[in-house]
Every structure is written in C-alpha cells, then in structure tokens.
A = this chain, B = another copy of it.
Amino acid sequence: MEPGKHTVYDIARLAGVSPATVSRVITGATKVSPDKEKRVREVMELVNFRPNAFARTLLTKKSSTLGVIMPDITNLFFSQTFLALERAAALEHYSLLLGNTLSRREMPGEDWESYYLNSLLDRQVDGILFMGGRVNDVAPAAEQVAELIRLGRQKPIVLVNGRCPGTELRTVCTDEQGGVRALLEHLFSLGHRRIGVLGGYAGITSFEDKLATVTEGLRGQGLELRPDWVRPTGYSLESGFAAMEELLALPERPTAVVGINDYVAMGAIRCATVRGLRIPGDLAITGFDGIQTAAYSIPSLTTVDQNYDELAAAAVRILLAQVNGGATPKDTTVPATLVIRESTGPARA
C-alpha cells in the first residue's frame, strides 16, 4: 500500500495481464476486455496506484502544465486574472506554474522574466501565458523581443494584455480603448470638461494607449488635454497618492481625473480626502480594472471591469489551440464594461 512504489509492471503482475494492457486502461486510448479492465482497476484502486506523470510526459511530450508569467500576484488585477486562468485551465485538466517578475524598476538587477521563461520551459510546460514587462513596453529592447521569438518557436506563448509587434505571437487583450471611451462619455455626460490623467509610466502601453484615447476623446469635444494635468507616477496606491498631491499643488485643477488603474484611483482618493476635498463633490475620480476592493473604497469607485473570466477563457482557449496545433487568430480583443459607482458625479458649475 506504500506510496509511489508501484509501477505498471506491478499492477500487471497482480492483475494477471501485460503492462501494455494496464497502460491501455490508464490512457483509455484502446479497447480492453471488460473483465481485464475490471481486474486492473481493482488492483490500481487497492494499491492506490498513481502513474508517474514524468514517464508519460517523456513519451507523449505533453505535461498538461502551463506557465504563467506576470509582474506581481499581489496586485489584484493580476490575481483576479490568475484565478480566472486557473479555472479555465482546470476545465482542460491543466495546472499552472506561476512566476512573478516584479517591476523592473524596483528590481533592475534581476531579470526574472528571462529566468522564468527559461525555468518554465525547462519544466516542460506545454505553453506560456505572458503578462507585463517587455510586452507592455511601447519600444521593448531588441534582445528581449528576440528571446520571446526564439522561445516562442519552442512552445507557444500567448501575450495577455500585452503585445510584441513584428512577431507572430498571439495576443489576447482587454479593449482598453473602448473602456476609456466609455469612461469619458460618462464624465462628459456629467458635464466634465476639465479632465486629468493620474498614474502610469511613459513608454508603457497601458499608459500611452489610455492617454492617446483620452486625448482623442477630448479633441472630439473640442478640448485639449493639459500636460500638467497628466501625472504619470506609477501604478500603485502610493503612485495615486503622489499623483494627486502633485495635482493639488497646481494653481488650477481639473473637475475630474482618470486613474490609470484602480489602485491609482484609490490612492488618489485617499490623498484628496486627507487634503479635505470631497469626492465626487469637489473632484470626480475614475479607475480602471474593476478589482474587487474597488466596490469598497470610500467612496466606491467608478471604473471599467476587465471581464476577467472572458479574458482568461480566451487566453487559455487560444493557447491550448496552439498547443494542439490548431489555427488561431493573431489578436483577440475582449470587451470591457463601465461600472458606475459613487466616485463620479456632476461637475461643479
């Protein structure tokens, strides 16, 4: 009854059949006579037989494991995405190996992206879901793109909310543009004309893309985005706090600000509240992501939900299609949903 002590040979001997037959029962790939199958199953049950997945993988070249690379699982956006990916993968009996790369700004010395890319491939994952880092750079370093291309030839790599122009890598992305447009329309409908942008970093797609959409949206109303109302301080609660502090130090301020994500918006809310402003009375604030806690900030946050389940299902579907050699679309876009809560209200006259 002891652990991992048994092999298909033991089972075969105990059940009075050949190892091949035991294997056939395990895989279910070939017909086996009912009585032999029954005997085999009984023996397997009896000794608690657990087939060695590695021996099988050695033959089949399929590990039923996918790798996930993302910057920081302690960011709710990523953890909600991960959970959705895990559920989608489990439906296909895949497990996930997770590697967090953290911010390159914070740990410039270590290249966790390359480390995990290689480490996961060494562990024979069938494919990789890649988020953050170089695929969020507007202009990624040439050798980082080259690495992605090279490794992408070994195993399929799908970029989630990222991109790598000039490669054949598949992407699955939230419709950030549509989300920001919905946010702007909401603000316009409340009478806001003076709008700022908080958080993000220059050169990062999630910032540049949103900025471009805001600029465009304002132009559509005959308005300009004032450069000093754009405060690209980062992506954290701290960043949002700092961005709001910078904004409040200006002689004039907008009536509404678009946070680059929910954390930034929540940090900004805290700063504005501490400084005595009322949200949304004195200043409307929006987020982006739709993380769980956004519904519980004070005031609760108007934001854009990334539809995690849909995003994850698409990413896993496309990756597994590639694993299985199927055809897949180059780029997939998942719609985002405006969620109106308390942090936005009519513009002051």
Contact = CB atoms under 8 A, between A and B. Distances in A.
A96 B68 CA distance: 11
B52 A58 contact: yes
Interface string A284-325: 000000001101111000000000000000000000000000
B153 A2 contact: yes
A72 B79 CA distance: 9
A23 B121 CA distance: 19
A344 interface: no
B100 A86 contact: yes
A155 B53 CA distance: 15
Which bucket holds chain A's interface residue count?
35 or more
Interface string A104-141: 00000000000100111111100000000000000000
Nearest to A241: B296
Contacts of A292: 74, 237
A46 to B, nearest CB: 14
B72 A83 contact: yes
With most chain B CB atoms within 10 A of its CB, the pick from A54, A122, A295 is A54
A267 B241 contact: no
A73 interface: yes
Say whether chain A's binding surface is mostly helix, strand, loop, or mixed. helix
A331 to B, nearest CB: 24
How many copies of the chain does the oligomer comprise?
A: 2
A166 B266 CA distance: 46
A79 B55 CA distance: 33
Contact of A83 (B73, B119, B123, B241): B73
Given A55-B58, A124-B54, A298-B270, A95 B95 contact: no
Nearest to A98: B98
Given A4-B154, A237-B292, A99 B86 contact: yes
A349 to B, nearest CB: 27
Contact of A82 (B73, B115, B124): B73
30 contacts: A3-B153, A3-B154, A3-B155, A4-B154, A48-B150, A50-B121, A53-B122, A53-B124, A54-B54, A55-B58, A58-B58, A63-B123, A65-B123, A73-B83, A74-B80, A74-B83, A74-B292, A76-B76, A83-B100, A86-B99, A86-B100, A95-B119, A96-B98, A97-B97, A98-B98, A237-B292, A267-B296, A269-B298, A270-B296, A273-B298
Interface of A: 2-4, 48, 50-55, 57-58, 63-65, 72-74, 76, 79-80, 82-83, 86, 90, 95-100, 115, 118-124, 150, 153-155, 237, 241, 266-267, 269-270, 273-274, 292-293, 295-298
